[in-house]
Protein backbone atom coordinates (compact mmCIF):
# COMPACT_ATOMS: atom_id res chain seq x y z
CA UNK A 1 0.00 0.00 0.00
CA UNK A 2 2.67 2.43 1.03
CA UNK A 3 4.56 1.80 -2.19
CA UNK A 4 1.44 2.38 -4.27
CA UNK A 5 0.65 5.64 -2.53
CA UNK A 6 4.23 6.78 -2.80
CA UNK A 7 4.24 5.89 -6.46
CA UNK A 8 1.12 7.94 -7.03
CA UNK A 9 2.59 10.94 -5.24
CA UNK A 10 5.77 10.59 -7.24
CA UNK A 11 3.86 10.51 -10.47
CA UNK A 12 2.12 13.73 -9.52
CA UNK A 13 5.44 15.42 -8.76
CA UNK A 14 7.26 14.01 -11.71
CA UNK A 15 4.44 14.57 -14.16
CA UNK A 16 4.52 18.30 -13.56
CA UNK A 17 8.15 18.68 -14.48
CA UNK A 18 8.64 15.77 -16.85
CA UNK A 19 8.33 17.83 -19.99
CA UNK A 20 10.61 20.46 -18.53
CA UNK A 21 13.19 17.82 -17.80
CA UNK A 22 13.07 16.33 -21.27
CA UNK A 23 13.54 19.67 -22.91
CA UNK A 24 16.16 20.77 -20.42
CA UNK A 25 18.13 17.64 -21.16
CA UNK A 26 17.73 18.21 -24.87
CA UNK A 27 18.63 21.87 -24.74
CA UNK A 28 20.81 22.49 -21.74
CA UNK A 29 24.54 22.10 -22.12
CA UNK A 30 25.57 18.73 -20.74
CA UNK A 31 26.27 19.06 -17.04
CA UNK A 32 29.84 18.83 -16.00
CA UNK A 33 31.24 18.91 -19.52
CA UNK A 34 32.86 21.63 -21.53
CA UNK A 35 30.42 24.37 -22.38
CA UNK A 36 29.62 25.44 -25.91
CA UNK A 37 29.77 29.14 -26.73
CA UNK A 38 26.76 31.33 -26.05
CA UNK A 39 23.59 30.11 -27.69
CA UNK A 40 23.36 26.66 -26.15
CA UNK A 41 19.81 26.46 -27.43
CA UNK A 42 21.41 25.70 -30.77
CA UNK A 43 21.72 22.20 -29.37
CA UNK A 44 17.95 21.87 -29.54
CA UNK A 45 16.67 19.27 -31.96
CA UNK A 46 16.39 20.61 -35.49
CA UNK A 47 12.62 20.41 -35.26
CA UNK A 48 12.64 22.90 -32.40
CA UNK A 49 14.73 25.40 -34.29
CA UNK A 50 14.14 27.79 -37.09
CA UNK A 51 10.39 27.81 -36.81
CA UNK A 52 8.24 30.70 -35.70
CA UNK A 53 6.28 28.83 -33.03
CA UNK A 54 7.77 26.88 -30.15
CA UNK A 55 6.66 23.26 -29.99
CA UNK A 56 3.89 22.57 -27.50
CA UNK A 57 6.18 20.49 -25.29
CA UNK A 58 8.83 23.22 -25.02
CA UNK A 59 10.05 23.83 -21.47
CA UNK A 60 8.81 27.20 -20.36
CA UNK A 61 10.11 29.53 -17.72
CA UNK A 62 7.37 31.11 -15.63
CA UNK A 63 9.10 32.60 -12.64
CA UNK A 64 12.40 34.16 -11.71
CA UNK A 65 14.90 32.24 -9.62
CA UNK A 66 13.74 33.81 -6.39
CA UNK A 67 10.17 32.67 -7.05
CA UNK A 68 11.34 29.11 -7.71
CA UNK A 69 13.29 29.23 -4.44
CA UNK A 70 10.37 30.62 -2.45
CA UNK A 71 7.75 28.46 -4.12
CA UNK A 72 9.49 25.08 -4.18
CA UNK A 73 12.75 24.85 -2.26
CA UNK A 74 11.75 26.89 0.77
CA UNK A 75 8.58 24.93 1.67
CA UNK A 76 10.03 21.53 0.82
CA UNK A 77 13.27 21.98 2.72
CA UNK A 78 11.25 23.07 5.76
CA UNK A 79 9.43 19.74 5.73
CA UNK A 80 12.79 17.99 6.13
CA UNK A 81 14.18 20.51 8.61
CA UNK A 82 11.12 20.13 10.83
CA UNK A 83 11.85 16.43 11.18
CA UNK A 84 15.06 17.27 13.00
CA UNK A 85 13.00 17.94 16.11
CA UNK A 86 9.59 16.39 15.42
CA UNK A 87 9.05 12.74 14.50
CA UNK A 88 7.04 12.96 11.24
CA UNK A 89 4.75 10.15 12.36
CA UNK A 90 3.59 12.21 15.35
CA UNK A 91 2.37 15.18 13.30
CA UNK A 92 -1.38 15.43 13.72
CA UNK A 93 -3.41 15.08 10.54
CA UNK A 94 -5.20 18.21 9.38
CA UNK A 95 -9.01 18.26 9.91
CA UNK A 96 -9.27 17.55 6.19
CA UNK A 97 -5.99 15.84 5.23
CA UNK A 98 -6.86 16.04 1.53
CA UNK A 99 -6.80 19.84 1.77
CA UNK A 100 -3.85 20.18 4.14
CA UNK A 101 -1.40 22.99 3.42
CA UNK A 102 1.28 21.27 5.51
CA UNK A 103 2.48 18.14 3.68
CA UNK A 104 3.28 16.47 7.01
CA UNK A 105 -0.38 16.78 8.07
CA UNK A 106 -1.78 15.66 4.72
CA UNK A 107 -2.88 12.31 3.35
CA UNK A 108 0.68 12.04 2.07
CA UNK A 109 2.04 12.83 5.51
CA UNK A 110 4.48 11.17 7.90
CA UNK A 111 7.58 9.65 6.38
CA UNK A 112 6.05 9.88 2.95
CA UNK A 113 6.09 13.68 3.22
CA UNK A 114 9.85 13.49 3.76
CA UNK A 115 10.21 11.27 0.70
CA UNK A 116 8.10 13.61 -1.42
CA UNK A 117 9.98 16.70 -0.33
CA UNK A 118 13.21 14.97 -1.30
CA UNK A 119 11.80 14.26 -4.76
CA UNK A 120 10.54 17.84 -5.07
CA UNK A 121 14.00 19.23 -4.27
CA UNK A 122 15.74 16.83 -6.65
CA UNK A 123 13.27 17.70 -9.41
CA UNK A 124 13.70 21.40 -8.65
CA UNK A 125 17.37 20.96 -9.47
CA UNK A 126 16.22 20.49 -13.07
CA UNK A 127 14.41 23.81 -12.91
CA UNK A 128 17.68 25.54 -12.01
CA UNK A 129 19.08 24.41 -15.38
CA UNK A 130 16.32 25.52 -17.76
CA UNK A 131 17.56 28.14 -20.22
CA UNK A 132 15.95 31.56 -20.09
CA UNK A 133 15.38 32.05 -16.35
CA UNK A 134 16.57 35.25 -14.73
CA UNK A 135 17.23 36.18 -11.12
CA UNK A 136 15.20 38.80 -9.26
CA UNK A 137 17.73 41.45 -10.32
CA UNK A 138 17.29 40.56 -14.00
CA UNK A 139 20.64 38.79 -14.33
CA UNK A 140 20.50 35.46 -16.13
CA UNK A 141 20.75 32.33 -13.97
CA UNK A 142 24.45 31.47 -14.31
CA UNK A 143 23.77 27.91 -15.43
CA UNK A 144 26.85 27.77 -17.64
CA UNK A 145 29.18 28.22 -14.70
CA UNK A 146 30.84 24.99 -13.62
CA UNK A 147 30.35 25.76 -9.93
CA UNK A 148 26.65 26.49 -10.48
CA UNK A 149 26.31 23.07 -12.08
CA UNK A 150 28.15 21.53 -9.16
CA UNK A 151 25.83 23.26 -6.66
CA UNK A 152 22.81 22.07 -8.64
CA UNK A 153 24.16 18.54 -8.46
CA UNK A 154 24.61 19.03 -4.72
CA UNK A 155 20.93 19.94 -4.44
CA UNK A 156 19.91 16.98 -6.61
CA UNK A 157 21.95 14.58 -4.48
CA UNK A 158 20.64 16.10 -1.24
CA UNK A 159 17.09 15.67 -2.54
CA UNK A 160 17.62 12.02 -3.34
CA UNK A 161 19.40 11.46 -0.02
CA UNK A 162 16.30 12.94 1.64
CA UNK A 163 14.10 10.58 -0.33
CA UNK A 164 16.15 7.63 0.92
CA UNK A 165 16.14 8.93 4.49
CA UNK A 166 12.34 9.13 4.30
CA UNK A 167 12.21 5.57 3.06
CA UNK A 168 14.42 4.44 5.93
CA UNK A 169 11.91 5.87 8.45
CA UNK A 170 14.83 6.56 10.72
CA UNK A 171 15.08 9.76 12.76
CA UNK A 172 18.88 9.72 12.83
CA UNK A 173 18.98 9.47 9.03
CA UNK A 174 16.63 12.44 8.68
CA UNK A 175 18.60 14.57 11.12
CA UNK A 176 21.75 13.79 9.16
CA UNK A 177 20.17 14.51 5.80
CA UNK A 178 18.84 17.85 7.05
CA UNK A 179 22.44 18.86 7.42
CA UNK A 180 23.17 17.64 3.88
CA UNK A 181 20.29 19.72 2.54
CA UNK A 182 21.18 22.92 4.35
CA UNK A 183 24.79 22.54 3.24
CA UNK A 184 23.66 22.13 -0.38
CA UNK A 185 21.59 25.32 -0.11
CA UNK A 186 24.36 27.24 1.61
CA UNK A 187 27.12 26.22 -0.78
CA UNK A 188 25.33 27.97 -3.61
CA UNK A 189 23.97 30.88 -1.56
CA UNK A 190 27.46 31.70 -0.29
CA UNK A 191 28.62 32.33 -3.85
CA UNK A 192 25.54 33.55 -5.72
CA UNK A 193 23.09 34.96 -3.18
CA UNK A 194 24.87 36.46 -0.19
CA UNK A 195 26.25 39.73 -1.48
CA UNK A 196 27.42 42.38 0.94
CA UNK A 197 27.02 46.03 -0.04
CA UNK A 198 30.74 46.01 -0.79
CA UNK A 199 30.15 43.13 -3.21
CA UNK A 200 27.35 45.04 -4.92
CA UNK A 201 24.36 43.92 -2.85
CA UNK A 202 21.28 42.37 -4.46
CA UNK A 203 22.31 43.68 -7.89
CA UNK A 204 25.33 41.36 -7.74
CA UNK A 205 23.30 38.22 -7.05
CA UNK A 206 23.72 35.45 -9.62
CA UNK A 207 27.15 36.80 -10.54
CA UNK A 208 30.58 36.10 -9.14
C1 LIG B 1 22.50 26.42 -7.39
C2 LIG B 1 22.33 27.52 -6.49
C3 LIG B 1 21.30 27.48 -5.40
C4 LIG B 1 20.90 26.40 -4.66
C5 LIG B 1 21.38 24.96 -4.71
C6 LIG B 1 19.90 26.90 -3.74
N7 LIG B 1 19.71 28.24 -3.93
FE8 LIG B 1 18.33 29.39 -3.00
N9 LIG B 1 18.94 30.99 -4.04
C10 LIG B 1 19.97 31.02 -4.96
C11 LIG B 1 20.11 32.36 -5.50
C12 LIG B 1 21.12 32.80 -6.52
C13 LIG B 1 19.14 33.14 -4.87
C14 LIG B 1 18.81 34.60 -5.15
C15 LIG B 1 17.70 34.57 -6.19
C16 LIG B 1 17.23 35.87 -6.76
O17 LIG B 1 17.47 36.91 -6.15
O18 LIG B 1 16.57 35.80 -7.82
C19 LIG B 1 18.42 32.26 -3.97
C20 LIG B 1 17.36 32.65 -3.17
C21 LIG B 1 16.70 31.85 -2.27
C22 LIG B 1 15.59 32.27 -1.46
C23 LIG B 1 14.93 33.64 -1.50
C24 LIG B 1 15.62 34.56 -0.53
C25 LIG B 1 15.01 35.91 -0.57
O26 LIG B 1 15.79 36.89 -0.48
O27 LIG B 1 13.81 36.03 -0.68
C28 LIG B 1 15.24 31.21 -0.69
C29 LIG B 1 14.13 31.16 0.35
C30 LIG B 1 16.11 30.12 -1.01
N31 LIG B 1 17.00 30.54 -1.99
C32 LIG B 1 16.07 28.87 -0.44
C33 LIG B 1 16.87 27.81 -0.82
C34 LIG B 1 16.87 26.53 -0.18
C35 LIG B 1 16.02 26.17 1.01
C36 LIG B 1 17.75 25.75 -0.84
C37 LIG B 1 18.15 24.34 -0.57
C38 LIG B 1 17.10 23.36 -0.40
C39 LIG B 1 18.33 26.57 -1.91
N40 LIG B 1 17.77 27.81 -1.85
C41 LIG B 1 19.26 26.12 -2.81
C42 LIG B 1 20.72 29.94 -5.36
C43 LIG B 1 20.57 28.64 -4.91
Q: Is residue 113 part of a domain?
A: yes
pLDDT on residue 51? 53
Rounded to whole angstroms, how far apart are CA atoms 116 and 166? 8
Instruction: Report the nearest-CA residue for atom 20 of ligand 1.
Output: 66
Q: Is residue 141 part of a domain?
A: yes
DSSP state of 181: H
Q: How far is the CA of 189 from the centre of ligand 1 (A)?
A: 6
Instruction: Report the nearest-CA residue for atom 35 of ligand 1.
Output: 74
Tell which one of 28, 68, 69 to mutate to probe ligand 1, the residue whose CB is within 8 A of the most ligand atoms: 69
Q: Is residue 105 part of a domain?
A: yes
Domain interval for residue 119: 2-31+57-204
Return per-residue pLDDT of the chain as tens, 208 residues.
Answer: 455 555 545 444 444 444 444 544 445 444 444 444 444 444 444 444 445 555 677 889 999 999 999 999 999 999 999 999 999 999 999 999 999 999 999 999 999 999 999 999 999 999 999 999 999 999 999 999 999 999 999 999 999 999 999 999 999 999 999 999 999 999 999 999 999 999 999 999 999 9
Integer angstrom CA distances of residue 112 from 14, 50, 61, 79, 156: 15, 45, 29, 11, 18
Residues with CB under 6 A from ligand 1: 64-66, 69-70, 73-74, 77, 121, 128, 135-136, 148, 151-152, 155, 181, 184-185, 188-189, 192-193, 205-206
Which has the closest alpha carbon to 128: 111, 153, 110, 91?
153
pTM of the model: 0.78
Q: Is residue 37 part of a domain?
A: no
Total domains in the fold of the chain: 1
Q: Which residues contact 17 (CB under 8 A, 6 or more apart)?
A: 123, 126, 127
3-state secondary structure 9-53: HHHHHHHHHHHHHHHHHHHCCCCCCCCCCCCHHHHCCHHHCCCCC
Tell which one of 114, 185, 190, 192 to mutate to probe ligand 1, the residue whose CB is within 8 A of the most ligand atoms: 185
Q: Are 140 and 206 in contact (CB under 8 A)?
A: yes
Task: Kindly give the number of the ligand 1 atom that is closest to the alpha carbon of 155.
Answer: 5
Amino acid sequence: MRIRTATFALLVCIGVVLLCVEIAVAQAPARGTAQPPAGGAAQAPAAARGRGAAPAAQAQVHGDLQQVMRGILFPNSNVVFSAQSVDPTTVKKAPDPTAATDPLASIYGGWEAIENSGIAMAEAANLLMIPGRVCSNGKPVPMRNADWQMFVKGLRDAGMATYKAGQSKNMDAVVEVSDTVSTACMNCHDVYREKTPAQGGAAARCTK
